[in-house]
A = this chain, B = another copy of it.
Amino acid sequence: MWISKRTDYATRALLALALSHDDRPLKTQEVAARTAVPHTTLEQVMLQLRSAGMVRSERGPSGGYRLNRDPSAITLEEVVRVFQGPLAPIACATRKHPEPCPMEVGCSLLGVWRRVRDATIEILQRTTFADLAREAGGSWLAPPLLQQGT
């Protein structure tokens, strides 16, 4: 339960983009409809993805978003880090600048937390959006007819 909604939204949005084998970019409205994400919130997320260099935007009508790299060059780990920071389960087990354990040396728990950290990093690093798109069947399986007032 430690993946935030925004991280979830970001990964879904990227998957939607990776599945779009179209020449035109995808509008946030389209992405929002397909991923069932509040539109205004998704805009925030896309901005962050853009400044992280994962997506590219085009403005004006007929604008929208598209991936900025090959899907095989975007890992889940990278996305999660952008929205959540360190992947360690606890502050004393981060790779960069671990917070010192007030118990001094000898805390054998540290080893376990580090193992959890490494296991999750390993999985998330191995998974690219090319993999995810392939597993999803190559196209958007869920029909885009979800709720949406207007």
Contacts and interface: CB of A to CB of B under 8 A. Distances in A.
Interface stretch (A21-29, A45-53, A81-89): A81-89
A107 B132 CA distance: 9
A129 to B, nearest CB: 10
Interface in A12-26: 12, 15
Oligomeric state, in copies: 2
Interface in A94-129: 102-109, 111-113, 115-116, 119-120, 123-124, 127
Contact of A132 (B102, B105, B108): B108
Given A1-B85, A3-B89, A35 B103 contact: yes
B91 A1 contact: yes
A132 B127 CA distance: 32
Interface of A: 1-3, 8, 11-12, 15, 34-36, 76, 84-86, 88-91, 102-109, 111-113, 115-116, 119-120, 123-124, 127, 131-133, 135-137, 140-143, 146
